[in-house]
Structure formats: C-alpha cells, structure tokens
Structure 1
Amino acid sequence: MAAYLSMGEAHRRIADYLSRLDDAISQSDGADLASLLAISSAPASTPLSDALAAFPDFPRLASDRFPHLSDFLPPLLRAIHSHSLRRFGDAYSSFEKAASAFLQEFRNWETPWAMEAMHMVALEIRLLAEKADRELVMSGKNPDKLQAAGSFLMKVFGALAVKGPKRVGALYVTCQLFKIYFRLGTVNLCRSVIRSIETARNFDFEDFPVKDKVTYMYYTGRLEVFNENFLVADQKLTYALMHCNPQSESNLRYLYYWVFCSL
C-alpha cells in the first residue's frame, strides 16, 4: 500500500513530471521524452502513480499548467493512473488518445528528434493493447484493443513513410505491426506494409537501424516459410541470424529454429 501523501506533495510530484515532459519537448530531448512515456513496464506503485491517486484533479492541473499540451497530457496521466490500478482497458483507451495527440505534434516537427519517443509510443500502445485484451477475455468480452492498436500504428507508419529524415523510423513501426498481426493471426495484413517497405522509392533498406532490419527479416522470413518459399525464407532468416545481437540467446534460439524450418 502506498504511503500517505499530502495534497501538496502529490501536486509537487505531478507538476515535476509535467515540467520534465514539457522541458523534454521544448529542448528536443527525445531520449528523456521516451523514458517519460514508458508506462507498461512501471510497477503498480511509483512516486507519480501514488501522487495521481492522492490528487484526483490531475487532468485540470495538466491543462491549466500546460494548455498547449492539453490534448496530450491529461489522457497520458489518466493512462498512467489506470495502469497503476490494473485497469488496462481504461489505460489503453486513455493512452490511445494521448498517442493520437502526440502523433499530430510529431507530424508538425520538421526534424526527427522525437523518433525515440515515437517508437516508445508505438511499443507502449501494443503492450497496453495486449494487457487490455487479456483483461477483456477474462471478463467475457470481445478483445478488440490489439486490432485498434494496429489501426493506430498504420497512421504512425503513414507519418513516417514520407520523404525526409523521419522515414528511417518506419521499419521499427513495421515490426510492431508484424507482432500484432502474428498475434491476431492476420498475417495477410503484413503484405501491404511489406510492399511499402520493399518497393517504395522513399526507403533504402540499408538506411534502417540494424536491430530493426534483423526483426524485419525474422518476421518476413517466417512468412516465407508459411508460403513455402523456402529459398527466400532461408536467405531472410540467415540474414537475421548473422546480424542478430550475439548476446541475445533467446532470439538466437528462435532464429536457429526457423532457419531449420526453412531448410
């Protein structure tokens, strides 16, 4: 159980978090901004979540202190609060609202300084959707959040699949989409994204980060196994194996398995 917090201390903690977010944006500090958006890995009780529980008027505090971020900050705080209470459906819905507002801001920024934060948003919306769907299944309801997350990530992909420096971030989002489609059993939806990556003039595959290329080759290699295109599958999976981080033993085991399947 969280220790008792005075209203004043709760107000201070929330204001400090909001100020850090605003500073990260105003100073174009993508790494710090990304760390502040990580929700799903947080424990149930944190200094911020305890403060949100003690200060229920936090949405108005966020809107009053930072009106230029009023579409982004209140739903973000609601998502953090709901996640700490293990209300994952509510957390997902609130985070999607915050993510949509963040995506709009991201589109307006000319440089890709916030790419790490955009990737964190893409990761978080998938992870929160998975938690929300498990919650829905347990309550006997239709699990539809992961599908909604896929629709949102297609919007993110569209924002990145343009000429300019932001396009190098598209492959990471593609890999998040693959993870959703494979989990949902809708791997046919991978095709349109693959076509965009492999045929669009906007992209040069060698420009993408190595870790994203490894993940991409792993999933597209698995797709080729399913389609019985074993030669192409072997090429893709071997690429992933040769470029995978050698310290990642679990990933290497998966890759060895799929390379064997492609033979």
Structure 2
Amino acid sequence: MNDLAQHLNKINDCINNCNGFALATEFSTTEIITSRLYKTYNTLSAAKKQQIQIKLNRLQKIDSIVKRQHDIDVFVSNKLPQHYNEAASNRLRCISAIFESQYSEAFKHLTEAINSFVKVFELWSSNVLWKLSLDLRLLAELATEMNDDNNLNNSNKIDYYEEASRTLLSKCFQATNADRTANMAESKKNAALGVVNQLFHIYFKINNLKLCKNLINAVESPGFPSLDTYPLSQLITYRFFNGRLSVFNGAYKKAQQDLLFAFSKCPQTSFKNKRLILLFLVPMQLEQCKFPKKSLLEKYKLNQFIDIVQAIKTGNIKQFNDCLSTHQNFFISKGIYLILEKLKIICYRNLFKKVYLIHSGQRIPINNFLSALKWMENDSIDIDETECILSNLIYNGYLKGYISHKVALVVSPTNPFPKLPL
C-alpha cells in the first residue's frame, strides 16, 4: 500500500472513530507552511525543526503520488466518505501548490477545503477546525510575504489575503455560534475559541481592535461555554490577546491579570511565547510598582527593561530618559513606548519621596523639589513645571497634600506617599 493510500485510510479511520485529535494531525499543513515562513522557522528549536522535517518527508512522498494520479478526486472518493472528499482533495492540492511555491494557488485550495469542511463540521472534529483556521492564517502570511501573485500589487495583496482570511474565519466562527444545542457540553460552540484566537491575530495585525470586542462579548456571553472548559493552550492565547486589548484601552489592572495568567500557565518550553507575554506584562507590573527580577529579564532576553526598572525604583529621572531614548526603536516596534513613557510619573514620585525623607517636615519648599529636578533631569526646568509635576502627583493619588501659595508643598501628616500599587 502506497503512502497516499495509507494517509487516506488513516483519515477514514479517524472519521469513522470520531477521533478529532488524530484527524487534525492528518489534516495539518502547519509544518509545511512554517518551513517556508523563514523568520518563524529560524527561531524554532532543533527538536521542533526535526519534527517538521519528519512531517515534510512524509508529505513529499504523499505529494509525489498525488502528482501521478490522473484524477485525485476519484482516488480520494474511493477511500473516504463522500462528505469529506472535497475537503481532503483540496487539502492535497494545497500541499502540492506549496511544494511548487505557488502560494496564491495553495491559499485558494485551502480556502476551498475549509469551506467544504465547515459544511460537515461536528463537535468531535473541533480540533480540525482549529488546525485549519491556524493554517489559513499562516498561509495568508506566507502568500503575502512571498509575493508570487503578479495580478496583485503589494498593498492590494496584503489587503486581499487578510480580508479573505478574516471573512472565512468569521464564517467558521458563525458555524460554531449557530449551534442552538441546549446542552453546552454537546455544542459546537466548544470549538469557538480556537477560531476566535486566529481572528485576534488578524485584527491586531491590521490594527482594527474594535472588532475584537464583538468576539469577546460573544464568547463571554451566557450562551457560550465557560472559558475554563476550553483547552488550556487556547485559553492562554485568548487571555494574552485580552490582556493586550486591555493595555491599549488603559485598563491596566485587568491587563495585568490576563497577562499574568497567560505567562504563569504558558509552558516553560515555550520560550518565544513567554517572552512575548512579558513584553506587555512588564510595563503593567511596573505601573503597579511590581518590579521584575533582573535574572528574569536576562533569561528572556529583555535587557532593554533592566535600566528602566532600576530608574523607577530609585527615582532616577535621567536614567529613565536615557533608557527610553536608547531603546526607543525597540519599544516603538513592540507598541509599548507610550505606555512606558507614562511610567515617568512613578519615577517622579519616588524621587520626590526622597526629597521628603531628607527634609523630614510637613511643609517642604518647592525649591527643594526644583533643585532635585535640576540635578536629576534638566537645568532649564523652572518652578512652574515643578509645581505642575507635583499637582499631577497629587491628582493621581501618588502624593497626599496641597501646594500653598506656590511657596511650599504641605504634605499630609499621615502617609503622604501612599504605598504602591494604589
């Protein structure tokens, strides 16, 4: 029996036994797509690359037989139930097109495979729907990156693949959402989160975060299964994107909760993912005056944060400014520069607390704070700017007191610098 026949027999067994996990493995094209996404592939471990190579070798043997078939549809129809023929045939065509570096053709065939699969999708095959959704998004990235469709210019190409992916993934989500089964344990809605996560990837990439809210409202509504019933890997991804969304909405406490969950539950072996979570979690922790250890930042190659952490701890405004300037391009590229910039107020708070401790009185001349700012940050700063900083600290609750006639800061007799986080 040749490799293609064995492959189709395995798919048939999975269908007959309602084995969604095994069917997802057989249907997966993640490995072949990832092997062509060089930026992603080069970051993988040697063990992961070896796994991919084993799958590639198997797919190449299958593909060589597919190319010799006079009619692949007929061959597949003799091996599989009729309602799976179209999905399986188009998936095989997709693999052939990828091996031939015809990525726009591959995308078309995978789209057709998913459209066919959605028609026969059942709860037991939830993993297959998630795997196909993942592969669609990755293949859209590959087709855009490799630029093999001469009928589209660069900007149209990006719009086309992203829009086509978004439309089809939305259709997949609707296929799960349309199930009106009363018993949640038997509902297709249990397959929703994997698809939602792929849509999150796209919405963040195209910077259309408003669309995320609609998905969150649906998934967290009473008509959906409880979030903790979904696979942990999918829940980690979901909480990560929720955390990022909260970051950009200014809901920092919620962001911290979601990102902390994602980081703590993410496997230790997933170095790249844990580092990505930390990129957003560290600023949220700093906003709450929770300082990550230097060893943690070094472990995940986030040395850019080390001096910022030290500067905020000590109220060293100059060090804070220098660090932001030095790593500006990095922080901007990760979308966290403006968030870090807002942490400067905590730096001011910790500097002014030192002034208060040295003065050890309830009435502190504003010139004392001005002198500290001139020494630490900028010789040109004046009394009005100093007063403005003090006013902001009072307004935001970092300092308890009031300014008296632009001469002195009168601090509260009890706990003038409230313990952080507020």
Mark yes or no: TM-score above 0.5.
Answer: yes
| Equivalent residue number for residue 25 of structure 2 | 35
Deviation at 1:159, TM superposition (A): 2.2
Q: Which amino acid aligns with 1:101?
A: S
1:250 to 229, 254, 272: 272
Q: Where do 1:78-97 residues align within 5 Å?
A: 78-97=93-112
2:259 to 213, 221, 237: 237
Deviation at 1:104, TM superposition (A): 0.8
| Equivalent residue number for residue 86 of structure 2 | 71
1:157 to 173, 176, 180: 173
C-alpha distance in 1, partners of 2:88/2:264?
Answer: 42
CA contact (8 A) 1:89 1:135 kept: no
Deviation at 1:31, TM superposition (A): 2.2
Larger Rg: 2
| Equivalent residue number for residue 5 of structure 1 | none
| Equivalent residue number for residue 6 of structure 2 | 16
CA contact (8 A) 2:73 2:86 kept: no
SS in 1 for 2:86: coil
C-alpha distance in 2, partners of 1:257/1:73?
Answer: 40
CA contact (8 A) 2:104 2:148 kept: no
| Equivalent residue number for residue 231 of structure 2 | 209
Q: Where do 1:97-136 residues align within 5 Å?
A: 97-106=112-121, 109=122, 112-136=123-147
Compared with structure 1, are the counterparts of its residues 40 and 214 closer, same or farther at alpha carbon in structure 2 (3 Å cutoff)? closer
Deviation at 1:192, TM superposition (A): 0.8
CA contact (8 A) 2:102 2:148 kept: no
C-alpha distance in 1, partners of 2:195/2:26?
Answer: 19
| Equivalent residue number for residue 55 of structure 1 | 69
Q: How many residue pairs were aligned?
A: 249
SS in 1 for 2:31: coil
SS in 2 for 1:203: coil
Computed over aligned residues only, the root mean square deviation of the Cα atoms, in angstroms, reads: 2.3
Compared with structure 1, are the counterparts of its residues 65 and 198 closer, same or farther at alpha carbon in structure 2 (3 Å cutoff)? closer
SS in 2 for 1:54: coil
**Which one is further off, 66-75 or 95-104?**
66-75
SS in 2 for 1:82: helix
| Equivalent residue number for residue 26 of structure 1 | 16
Structure 2 residue runs of 5 or longer lacking an equivalent are: 33-55, 288-422
Structure 1 residue runs of 5 or longer lacking an equivalent are: 1-8
CA contact (8 A) 2:107 2:136 kept: yes
**Which one is further off, 209-218 or 42-51?**
42-51
Deviation at 1:16, TM superposition (A): 3.0
| Equivalent residue number for residue 260 of structure 1 | 282
Deviation at 1:225, TM superposition (A): 1.2
Q: TM-score, normalised by structure 2?
A: 0.54
Compared with structure 1, are the counterparts of its residues 241 and 67 closer, same or farther at alpha carbon in structure 2 (3 Å cutoff)? closer
Compared with structure 1, are the counterparts of its residues 259 and 47 closer, same or farther at alpha carbon in structure 2 (3 Å cutoff)? same
Q: TM-score, normalised by structure 1?
A: 0.84
Q: Which amino acid aligns with 1:18?
A: L
C-alpha distance in 2, partners of 1:230/1:56?
Answer: 60
Q: Which amino acid aligns with 1:79?
A: C
Give deviations 1:6-64, integer Å, cap 9, x for gaps.
xxx8xx43333223222221221222211111124133861111222333532332245
**Which one is further off, 122-131 or 182-191?**
182-191
Matched, 1:226 2:248: yes
